[in-house]
């Protein structure tokens, strides 16, 4: 290492958050955007670098073998790139999120916002939202880059702080309850994970030389029962984060109540910690237990795929619809991870990227609709395509990306997952394929109800202007990225393939030999 690039990438947005808060509104928005753009440059700069040149390792708490250790393999680089791209987009999308607070909206005797005409004004300013978003960015990046288990856990838990306030400070009338539900589920997952971290430390210390470096913990010998219990602890924490059925219920409530920008950061970046952790820790630390749990995990994955799709079809709120689609998509990712083929693992990692862009696009587009109408209920729209054709078009493109249309980013990930898993888990894949049809149903049904047909009186009243220049600047990069990675997935796939191959080594799995028919001879 010649320069601590990864430390810079992690600390820059955290420093930016502190500075934006210190400015107290005097140029805070501009400062936040400048820090986000600087972080974008630094985050993308590490993508072509050799991982060996990026690794950092410094002794931290010697008594327990804890290190300040960072690294960046292909999967980490992909998730770093996703995060640094999305944050400035979200900041631009939420440029006026706290204006009602600045205008001194209705408040009680303690200065807390109170509901008026069915609307709850923001609790804090736009600058506070942006500072929290930058803080969340820095903490999330540290989670992806940490190569010491204790360091990972600290930032895993630290992400809850800014995310809680992002949910509770802005959004719908039930935002406080949604934020509390998110926090309780996440704290439960963190508590279970802490037990697993302690267990790994005890095992590493049993030979008198404790170490919490992930490289030292990989391949650590342990009894079968111990390995299975530790796997369960790690998996539960990551399944809550992902989220998977049945520990997913916090997500639809949160997405419905939070601001679309906060939901974008939550689902597109923060929740990827779940699938990232399954690959980085579950497969590496507990290979035999991962194989033991595969039938159960694949069953949960397929249930999540179907449940999310069916609930999305029946969703009456567009924000809940997008949240349920994500439950379904995370099921696909987990299916690819535990199918144990290089192709399916590569597809799962790539799917994290594609889903990040499509989920953010859907949340932000629905946010543009809700801001105009004052509601995200499907029944409150109708015929809006005639009034806001550009908005209708970007909703359709984002929806097509969500359902995995060929030529858009999600398709490559879904195809690789299912084609890779087919040779080992035919039944699971055959069932999951049906959900791709359901995806077309929930997207096209939502489009039909919101945008087609006669123009409703509510749409005529509220849909008075199409996308503004700022809103087009928000959504255009996401559409370009979905198209680019849909048409040219090769560079990203090449970048993450070594991570998939290493995961296969950890679980001592090999790809099935292709079968070639001899025509009956």
On whether residue 427 sits in a domain, the answer given is yes
Question: Quick one: which of 188, 191, 182 has its CA closest to 161?
Answer: 182
* Model pLDDT for residues 177-224, shown as the tens digit of each residue: 999 999 999 999 999 999 999 999 999 998 778 999 999 999 899 999
Report yes or no on 357 lying in a domain: yes
Q: Summarize pLDDT for 322-359 with one digit per residue, the tens.
A: 999 999 999 999 999 999 999 999 999 999 999 999 99
Q: How far apart are CA 355 and CA 411, in angstroms?
A: 10
Length of the chain, please? 521
Mean pLDDT of 32-42: 98
Q: What is the DSSP letter of 517?
A: -
39-77: pLDDT as tens digits = 999 999 999 999 999 999 999 999 999 999 999 999 999
- HSE-up (13 A, CA, CB side) for residue 223: 5
Give the list of residues 6+ apart from residue 346 with CB closer than 8 angstroms, or none: 416, 420, 493, 496, 497, 500
In a domain, 428, yes or no: yes
Interval 433-442: pLDDT, tens? 888 889 999 9
Please state the domain count of the chain.
1
Answer yes or no: are the C-beta atoms of 96 and 144 closer than 8 Å: no
User: Which one, of 109, 507, 117, 146, lies nearest residue 338 by Cα?
Assistant: 507
Is 258 among the domain residues? no
Quickly list DSSP for 443-475: HHHHHHHHHSSSPPHHHHHH------HHHHHHH
Is residue 252 situated within a structural domain?
no
How does residue 18 score in pLDDT terms, banded at 50, 70 and 90?
A: very high
Question: Does residue 520 carry a pLDDT above 50?
Answer: no
In this structure, how many other beta carbons lie within 10 angstroms of the beta carbon of residue 346?
29
Domain-located, residue 8: no
- Which pLDDT score, from 0 to 100, does residue 70 have? 97
Average pLDDT over residues 127-155: 97
Report the alpha-carbon distance of residue 310 to residue 295 in Å, rounded.
Answer: 23
Per the structure, the complete domain to which residue 352 belongs is given by 287-511
**What is residue 495's predicted lDDT score, i.e. its pLDDT?**
96
Least Cα distance to 432 among 349, 308, 323 occurs for 308
pLDDT greater than 60 at residue 237: yes
Asked whether residue 257 is domain-assigned, the answer is no
- In the predicted model, is pLDDT for residue 254 greater than 60? yes
pLDDT band at 117 (very low <50, low <70, confident <90, very high): very low
- Residue 81 in any domain: the answer is no
pLDDT bucket at 514, cuts 50 / 70 / 90: low
């Amino acid at each position: 290492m010649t320069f601590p690039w990864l430390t810079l990438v992690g600390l820059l947005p955290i420093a930016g958050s502190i500075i934006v808060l210190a400015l107290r509104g005097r140029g805070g928005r501009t400062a936040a955007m400048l820090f986000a753009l600087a972080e974008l440059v630094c985050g993308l700069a590490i993508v072509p670098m050799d991982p060996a040149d990026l690794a950092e390792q410094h002794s931290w708490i010697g008594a327990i073998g804890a290190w300040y250790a960072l690294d960046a393999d292909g999967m980490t680089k992909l998730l770093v790139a996703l995060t640094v791209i999305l944050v400035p987009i979200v900041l631009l999308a939420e440029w006026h999120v706290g204006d009602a607070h600045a205008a001194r909206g209705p408040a009680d005797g303690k200065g807390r916002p109170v509901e008026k005409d069915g609307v709850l004004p923001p609790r804090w300013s736009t600058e506070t939202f942006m500072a929290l978003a930058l803080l969340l960015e820095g903490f999330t990046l540290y989670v992806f880059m940490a190569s010491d288990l204790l360091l990972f856990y600290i930032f895993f838990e630290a992400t809850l702080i800014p995310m809680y306030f992002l949910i509770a400070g802005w959004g719908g009338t039930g935002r406080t309850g949604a934020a509390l539900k998110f926090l309780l589920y996440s704290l439960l997952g963190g508590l279970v994970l802490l037990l697993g971290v302690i267990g790994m430390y005890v095992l590493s210390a049993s030979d008198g030389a404790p170490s919490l470096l992930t490289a030292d913990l990989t391949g650590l010998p342990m009894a079968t029962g111990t390995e299975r219990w530790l796997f369960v602890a790690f998996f539960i924490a990551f399944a809550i984060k992902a989220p998977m059925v049945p520990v997913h219920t916090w997500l639809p409530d949160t997405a419905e109540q939070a601001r679309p920008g906060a939901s974008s950061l939550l689902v597109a970046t923060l929740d990827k910690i779940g699938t990232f952790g399954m690959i980085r820790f579950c497969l590496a630390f507990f290979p035999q237990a991962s194989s033991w749990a595969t039938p159960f995990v694949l069953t949960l994955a397929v249930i999540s795929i179907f449940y999310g799709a069916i609930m999305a079809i029946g969703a009456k709120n567009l924000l809940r619809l997008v949240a349920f689609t994500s439950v379904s998509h995370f099921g696909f990712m987990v299916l690819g991870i535990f199918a144990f083929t290089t192709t399916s693992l590569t597809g799962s990692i790539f799917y994290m990227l594609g889903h990040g862009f499509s989920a953010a696009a859907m949340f932000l587009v629905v946010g543009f609709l809700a801001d105009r109408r004052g509601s995200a209920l499907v029944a409150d729209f109708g015929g809006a395509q005639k009034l806001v054709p550009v908005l209708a078009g970007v909703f359709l493109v984002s929806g097509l990306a969500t359902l995995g249309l060929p030529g858009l980013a999600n398709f490559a990930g879904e195809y690789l997952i299912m084609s890779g898993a087919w040779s080992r888990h035919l039944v699971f894949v055959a069932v999951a394929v049906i959900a791709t049809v359901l995806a077309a149903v929930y997207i096209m049904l939502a489009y039909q109800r919101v945008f087609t047909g006669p123009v409703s009186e509510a749409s005529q009243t509220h849909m008075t202007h199409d996308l503004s220049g700022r809103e087009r600047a928000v959504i255009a990069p996401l559409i370009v990225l979905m198209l680019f990675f849909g048409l040219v997935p090769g560079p990203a796939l090449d970048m993450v393939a070594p991570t998939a191959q290493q995961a296969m080594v950890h679980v001592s799995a090999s790809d099935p030999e292709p079968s070639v028919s001899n025509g009956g001879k």
